[in-house]
Structure 1
Amino acid sequence: MNGPHLQLEVYPDAGAACRMAAQRLAQALAQGGTAALAGGNTPRPAYHLLAEMELPWPAITLVPTDERCVPPDHPERNDRMLAEALGDRGYRLVRLPAELGPEQGAREAEALVAPLVPFRVVLLGLGEDGHTASLFPGHPALEATGLVAPVRRAPKPPPERITLTLRALSQTETALLLVTGASKREALRRLLTGDDLPPRRLTVPTLTILADREAADAMEA
């Protein structure tokens, strides 16, 4: 199917891929601006590296690409992970009110996100099933027309979430997809060979994929 041009960059290991992700984020935010950042464990090392860089932190706004409908202090919150990984650098962190539940949380988050687009940079991840943010293959949230969508019955726990939509994530100067580890190999192969996975539905001109050799091994064999 049609979609963004996929530009694959392969690095020797996950550490090198994360270092490049941090460098690309720093380049995009060198003059300040807003970034939408993936949660989960994969990008955490990149955020630790980013935190060590000299940037105009008070001029930077960060927002998670998605959030789990759990209490604000829950260890699985993406905003909590971002705050812990980056530390106190003076940036503004926009917290999506997912604790209100999918529908109300998405409605209130819409008002928070609207002034933030277009983003300077978006960093996404890729799940083993091909999802990105909390946009899962075949899920109704893929068809959402707003900037933030409620998610119920997500195939990966927790089942209730809110997520930035394809419309929101596509409004960016730079779109990055960080993919590391052998467990992501099949999803990356499917993405690169044309399967209708959520990242292919982005309307950005180019999606730059930062992959480690383990994840990209199937494409290089």
Structure 2
Amino acid sequence: MSTRLETLPDAQGVAQALAGLLAERLRQGGRAVLAGGQTPLPAYRLLGRRSLPWKAIELIPSDERCLEPESPERNDRQIGLALGQPEVRLHRFPAERGPALAAAQMEGVVTALLPFAVVVLGLGEDGHTASLFPGHPLGVEALVAPVYRAPKPPPQRVTLTPKALAQTSLLVFVVTGAEKREALERVLRGEPLPPNHIAAPQRLFLCDRAALPSLG
């Protein structure tokens, strides 16, 4: 597994870099995983303005919160609004039905999507990614897993597992802000945090100067 760190001046630069990378990877169509949360949304807005074969692109969030479909806190809703592309196929987890049922129903969907052209993930201050949290089981054989008692709300979620997320030629982590610096440093040092359980062949960390750690 190779790892590369690319530093941009600020969050806007990270968004532009991510949008360009996604556009390149999906220029002929394909399937991709997109991180939820606020950090990548500016990149998705930029991506949505690109001239791409949107009907030939399939996307899926890395994870979902067990909330009602119209909740503004759901990842699928935030991603869809940011892209603004009605032609793109965005697979949605039936997370409103609960973690176990949602995971079971999405296992076959994810199987059919593999391998991914690119996987985009974020990084939490505690070192979590998607809804894979430190101290939670990570070595499951399923592609989709239910999550209970998540340390940040809502406690019930559904997530792609390391087994699913590793099935791509390029795994991209998007990290911005000084509050993420310590977590990024720990990941790059090889600590057993969730990002280091995803054995993709290539990892790229896109970070801004505020998040850049001093590894000594």
TM-score tier after normalising by the smaller chain length: over 0.9
Asked if 1:113 is matched to 2:110, the reply is yes
Percent identity between matched residues is 55
Could you list the per-position Cα deviations for residues 5-35 of structure 1 after superposition, in whole angstroms to 9, with x for gaps in the alignment? Answer: 3210011001001110111111110110001
8 Å contact from structure 2 (residues 54, 85) kept in 1: no
Where do 1:1-12 residues align within 5 Å? 4-12=1-9
Q: In the aligned structure 1, how far is the partner of 2:72 from the partner of 2:82?
A: 13
Corresponding pairs, count: 216
1:14 to 4, 11, 15: 11
1:64 aligns with 2:61: yes
1:176 paired with 2:172, answer yes
Residue among 139, 156, 165 paired with 2:152: 156
Once the two structures are superposed, residues 140-171 of structure 1 have per-residue CA deviations (whole angstroms, 9 ceiling, x without a partner) of 2x122111000000111111000000000000
Q: Which residue of 1 aligns with 2:96?
A: 99
Deviations 1:84-142 (A, max 9, x none): 000134110100111110111100011221100111110000000001100011102x1
Shift of 1:220: 6.6
Whether contact under 8 Å (1:124, 1:177) holds in the other structure is yes
- CA displacement 1:59-108 (0-9 Å, x = unmatched): 00010000000110111110000110001341101001111101111000
Q: For the Cα contact (< 8 Å) 1:10–1:213, is it kept in 2?
A: yes
TM alignment of 1:31-70, pairs within 5 A: 31-70=28-67
Q: Structure 2 CA distance, aligned partners of 1:153 and 1:167?
A: 21
What is the identity, as a one-letter code, of the residue corresponding to 1:78?
Answer: N
Q: Is the 8 A contact 1:51 1:89 kept in 2?
A: no
Task: Tell me the secondary structure at the aligned position of residue 173 of structure 1.
Answer: coil
**TM-score, with length taken from structure 1:** 0.95
Q: What letter matches 2:102 in structure 1?
A: G
Letter in 1 for 2:201: P
Q: Please say if residues 99 and 157 of structure 2, whose CA atoms lie closer than 8 Å, have aligned partners that are also in contact.
A: yes
CA contact (8 A) 2:185 2:215 kept: no
Task: Say what the alpha-carbon RMSD is for the aligned residues.
Answer: 1.1
The residue that corresponds to 2:214 in the other structure is 219
CA distance in 1, matches of 2:130, 2:15: 18
Secondary structure at the residue paired with 1:21? helix
Query: What 5-or-longer segments of structure 1 have no aligned partner?
Result: none
Q: Which residues of structure 2 form unaligned runs of 5+?
A: none
Q: Which amino acid aligns with 1:211?
A: C
